[in-house]
Amino acid sequence: MKFLCDQMLGTLAKWLRIYGFDTFYPNSEMNDAKLLEISKNENRILISRDKRLIQTARRENLKTIEIKTTDIDEQISIVLGDIEMDKKKVLSRCILCNTEVDVISKKDIEGKVPERIYNNNEKFWFCKKCNKIYWRGSHYEKMFEKINNLS
């Protein structure tokens, strides 16, 4: 399942990526026509708070999810309400660029993360597109707590 969140839903896009879903998030220069084109060509479910964009997408028979709330927990619940979540996919994507992350050996990231992070962690993941390195810090526990509470 693939999603496209419009420009108003950046936090939701980040959380869908945390859950492991392929989620396109446009840059600020993309207009509605381009979003509809991407949604159609890549078979993505369009998620938006823009009523006009949702109406246009529905006229073009695109799958849509209209978001009416600004509360992120409610947004996540609306999108993932009936979707079976694969816990193995959680944190499998870069939250910045949407690329799948790969496990990287500890020795390969020496000097690329703060020393205390390097010394206190054994597992690391790497995004080959934007070069971001991930590890299980305190944010990891908080994310999983939120995921478990919403699932």
Q: In CATH, what number is assigned to the domain containing residue 29?
A: 3.40.50.11230
Same domain, 75 and 108: no
Output the pLDDT for position 13: 97
The verdict on 64 and 108 lying in the same domain is no
- What is the full DSSP assignment across the chain? -EEEE-GGGHHHHHHHHHTT-EEE---TT--HHHHHHHHHHTT-EEEES-HHHHHHHHHTT--EEE-----HHHHHHHHHTTPPP-GGGTT-B-TTT-PBPEEE-GGGGTTTS-HHHHHH-S-EEE-TTT--EEE--HHHHHHHHHHHHH-
Task: Please report whether residue 97 resides in a domain.
Answer: no
User: Quick one: 16 and 81 in the same domain?
Assistant: yes
pTM given for the model: 0.90
Indicate if 81 and 142 belong to the same structural domain.
no
Tokens describing residue 118: 């390097």
Residues 39 and 111 in one domain: no
Q: How many independent structural domains does the chain possess? A: 2
pLDDT of residue 71: 95
- Same domain, yes or no: 28 and 56: yes
- Please tell me whether residues 80 and 138 are part of one structural domain: no
On whether residue 120 sits in a domain, the answer given is yes
pLDDT of residue 142: 79
Q: Is residue 129 part of a domain?
A: yes
Q: How far is residue 29 CA from its own chain's centroid? A: 20
pLDDT in tens, the chain (151 residues): 999 999 999 999 999 999 999 999 999 899 999 999 999 999 999 999 999 999 999 999 999 999 999 999 999 999 998 787 788 898 999 999 999 999 999 999 999 999 999 999 999 999 999 999 999 877 777 777 777 776 6
Q: Answer whether 60's CB lies under 8 Å from 117's CB.
A: no
Domain limits for position 141: 102-150
Question: Do residues 2 and 40 lie in contact, with contact meaning Cβ atoms separated by under 8 Å?
Answer: no
Q: Is residue 10 located within the same domain as residue 77?
A: yes
pLDDT at site 151: 60
Are residues 54 and 121 both part of a single domain?
Answer: no
21, 5 in Cβ contact below 8 A? no
